[in-house]
Structure 1
Amino acid sequence: MLFNPSRDEARHFLIESWRKHGSHGKVPMTDLEKMTAAVLMRHPEYHQFLTPDYLDQDWPVEYGETNPFLHVSMHLAIEEQISIDQPFGIRALFGELCKVAGNEHDAQHLMMEGLGEMLWQAQRYGLPPDPAIYLDILRNKLPKQGG
Structure 2
Amino acid sequence: MFNPTRDQARRFLFDTWAKQKQSAPLTDLEKIALAVLVRHPEYHAIVDAPERYADLDYLPEFGETNPFLHMNMHLAIEEQLSINQPHGVRELYQALCQQTGDEHRAQHEMMDCLAEMIWQAQRSGTGPDGGLYLACMRGKAGMPDPIAG
- Distance in 1 between the 2:143 and 2:11 partners? 42
Aligned to 2:125: 126
In the alignment, the residues of structure 2 paired with residue 8 and residue 144 of structure 1 have an alpha-carbon distance, to the nearest angstrom, of 39
- Match for residue 38 of structure 1 among 35, 38, 48: 35
> Moved runs in structure 1, 4+ residues, more than 6 A?
none
Q: CA deviation at 1:48?
A: 1.1
Query: How many pairs were matched up?
Result: 142
**Are 2:90 and 1:91 aligned?**
yes
Unaligned runs of 5+ in 2: 145-149
CA separation in 2, counterparts of 1:59 and 1:38?
Answer: 23
Identity within the alignment, % = 56
TM-score (norm: length of structure 1) = 0.93
Per-residue deviation, 1:144? 4.8
Question: Take 2:135 and 2:85, find their aligned partners in 1: how far apart are those partners?
Answer: 14
* Superposition map of 1:74-85 within 5 A: 74-85=73-84
CA distance in 2, matches of 1:90, 1:63: 32
Query: For 2:100 and 2:62, how far apart are their aligned partners in 1?
Result: 27
Structure 1, gaps ≥5 residues long: none
CA contact (8 A) 1:114 1:138 kept: yes
SS of structure 2 residue aligned to 1:140:
helix
Write the distance in 2 (CA, Å) between the matches of 1:78 and 1:29.
20
TM superposition score normalised by structure 2? 0.92
